[in-house]
Amino acid sequence: MSGSERYLQLGLRLGRHVDGLVDAYYGPPELKEQVDAEELVPAEQLALDAAELLDMLEDGWVRDQVAGCATYARVLAGEPISYSDEVEGCYGVRPQRTSASVYKEAHAELDELLPGDGSLAERRVAWRERHLCLEPRSRADRGRYETVPQRVDPAARGPPRHRPDCDRQPQRHR
């Protein structure tokens, strides 16, 4: 089994421990069927399998994904890991503390920039809803609009008046 296939197998096995961990799977169906038919592999074993797989992989995307799986398996196995180590192991970035003054400055700037009444949070939500596109127009509309710039003299176009994939008013999902 290749390193990539072993990664898929590891991810599917971890996914049996935590619902939603694997949100989409497009790999070989027989691999998923095999993992689904297996007894649940203990998290401790998955942590060992991930460590072994890490040793055989070269640097790259798959290795980074396996490192995240290895960290997550160790957490599931009950290994005490600090929050910073867990984040770094899963995402490859070590979190840094940020001074509260940075947030105060950002809030002060947003307070000046966001129009309206109410709390900063309420004004941000109102601003976001005014600019939110929940339902894009149809593909046919987008397709027609995308051909217009090719047919119209650029000097005659003028500034864009709207986004073709977005209605100005937010539409709620039904």
pLDDT average, residue stretch 45-65: 95
pLDDT average, residue stretch 134-152: 53
- The CA–CA distances, whole Å, from 12 to 18, 66, 150 equal 10, 12, 47
DSSP 6: H
- 77 and 121 together in one domain: no
Pick from 9-13, 18-22, 133-137: least confident: 133-137
Decide which of 128 and 164 is more confident.
128
- 119 and 149 together in one domain: no
Q: Which two tokens stand for residue 5?
A: 């296939």
Domain membership of residue 170 as a residue range: 135-174
- 149 and 122 together in one domain: no
Q: Which residue has the tokens 């290749």?
A: 2
Q: Is this model's pTM higher than 0.75 or not? A: no
- For the chain, the first-to-last Cα distance in angstroms comes to 46
- 119 and 143 together in one domain: no
Decide which of 47 and 156 is more confident.
47
Domain count, the chain: 3
Residue pair 40/16 in contact by the 8 Å Cβ criterion: yes
State the pLDDT at residue 128. 87
